[in-house]
Amino acid sequence: MVLPASFELNNGHKIPAVGLGTFQGTEGNAKVKDDVRLALTLGYRHIDGANAYGNEKQIGEAIEESGIPRDQLFVTSKLYTWHDPADVEGALDASLKDLQLNYVDLYLMHFPHAYKAGERNETIRHPSGNGKPVIDYDLSRRYPETWQAMERLVDLGKARSIGLSNFNILKTKRILEKARIVPAVNQVEIHPHWVAGRFPQSGHMQMCHFQRKIQDQLSLHGAIRFLDPSQHIGFDIFDEENDQPVGSSAPWD
């Protein structure tokens, strides 16, 4: 089977079949600029980033220095802490400033759950010192409202396409019930351990295929650096109906 160069999204825009993920860049993002610049030289045209990765300035510098025309690139960014509908446009504006762009090709809601934001919209960390973000449970139930704010970004021309990331079946259905603009993408992590292990994704993929309203982009690239299973951290497990934490996973490898 030959992989096509691109896939057509449900709004007619095309997304390159292969992209460079910039999560967990080497040496605290110090080499992200070099990595992105090299990828562009080698022919990559889709760069997948996020505000949460803390390296959009480096990505923007690499894109600017590449000299590649904007219409030949596909740039993805993601909404993180700013789930209050009033803050969504400002969140994208901050990413656009760092990326040195007027628009992104794809803007994703990074997670359905929201984190508490500080005065400068930085993520507040748990006072216990465990490094985990503090969850905003009110906003975590209101992600359909956050989606409606993201729809306005398309109207304003700041995002060509919008989509989801890390959404399960229940939460995807809730978005579809309220959506004026149907998500073009639900970006999920896919690799053998994830599919065959404790967190199978097959049901989710079947749901998105069955809907025929939403197209899935599979995040096949992983992080820039090689994944080190010993570095994975635990995460909260949620009651899907009530969006309440019911426990915490142990680190898995």
Cβ proximity of 103 and 158 under 8 Å: yes
Whether 137 is catalytic: no
Strands 159-165 and 104-109: parallel
Q: What is the CA radius of gyration of the chain?
A: 18
Among 217, 226, 225, CA closest to 19 = 217
Q: Residue 186: enclosing H or E segment and its boundaries? A: strand 186-189
Q: Residue 173: enclosing H or E segment and its boundaries? A: helix 169-178
SS3 content of the chain, % helix, strand, coil (to 5): 35, 20, 40
HEC string of 38-88? HHHHHCCCEEECCHHHCCHHHHHHHHHHHCCCHHHCEEEEEECCCCCHHHH
Cβ proximity of 50 and 23 under 8 Å: yes
* Phi and psi based region of residue 143 (left: phi greater than 0; alpha: psi -120 to 50; beta: remaining): alpha
For residues 202 and 199, what is the distance between their CA atoms, to the nearest angstrom? 9
For residues 176 and 198, what is the distance between their CA atoms, to the nearest angstrom? 27
**DSSP code, position 172:** H
Which of 44, 53, 103, 107 is labelled catalytic? 53
Residues annotated as catalytic (active site), given as ranges:
53
